[in-house]
């Protein structure tokens, strides 16, 4: 268990993009026992990635928000009031190969998975990149499109 505590919060919570807790959200795959009062906790990392994909999908489809690009997504996800947003954008682009002004469409699996993975690496730290494999983001993205009716991959469930 001590090794678990040394992991970044996003990995401990299976929430690699550090989605803040909101009582209005009722995420599929969320843990029923709450240990972190500030950030969502999921049964496994796939469900955490799915939640992040859904948030970004909803932003991209919102005419009111008018979010279309990598930098617009990150400016909303990691606002300057809490983050060094420009450094966040630079790192995401360096890790993913995307450019700040690249348009993102939810239907573009590669861009979505590359963006989500790079954002998770920023959130959890580059040292944990090996725990954030691309295949996890493909699965989380797939769950955002068509979630399973059972909870697979729940080996570390409560």
Does 137 have pLDDT greater than 80? yes
Domain locations along the chain: 2-145
pTM of this structure = 0.91
Q: Is 28 exposed, middle or buried (0-12, 13-18, 19+ CB in 10 A)?
A: middle
Q: What is the pLDDT of residues 97-130, one digit of tens each?
A: 999 999 999 999 999 999 999 999 999 999 999 9
Q: What is the pLDDT of residues 2-57, one digit of tens each?
A: 455 689 999 999 999 999 999 899 999 999 899 999 999 999 999 999 999 999 99
d(CA 90, CA 4) in angstroms, rounded, equals 29
Tokens of 109: 């699996």
At residue 148, the pLDDT reads 82
């Amino acid at each position: 268990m001590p090794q678990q505590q040394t992991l970044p919060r996003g990995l401990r919570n299976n929430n690699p993009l550090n989605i803040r807790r909101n009582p209005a959200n009722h995420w599929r795959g969320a843990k029923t026992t709450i240990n972190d009062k500030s950030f969502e906790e999921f049964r496994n990392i796939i469900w955490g990635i799915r939640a992040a994909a859904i948030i970004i999908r909803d932003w991209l489809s919102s005419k009111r928000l008018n979010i279309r690009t990598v930098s617009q997504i990150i400016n909303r996800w990691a606002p300057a009031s809490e983050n060094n947003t420009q450094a966040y954008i630079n790192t995401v682009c360096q890790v993913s190969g995307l450019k700040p002004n690249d348009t993102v469409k939810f239907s573009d699996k590669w861009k979505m998975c590359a963006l989500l993975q790079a954002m998770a690496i920023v959130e959890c730290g580059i040292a944990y990149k090996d725990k954030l494999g691309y295949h996890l983001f493909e699965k989380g993205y797939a769950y955002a499109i068509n979630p399973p009716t059972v909870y697979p991959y729940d080996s570390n469930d409560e």
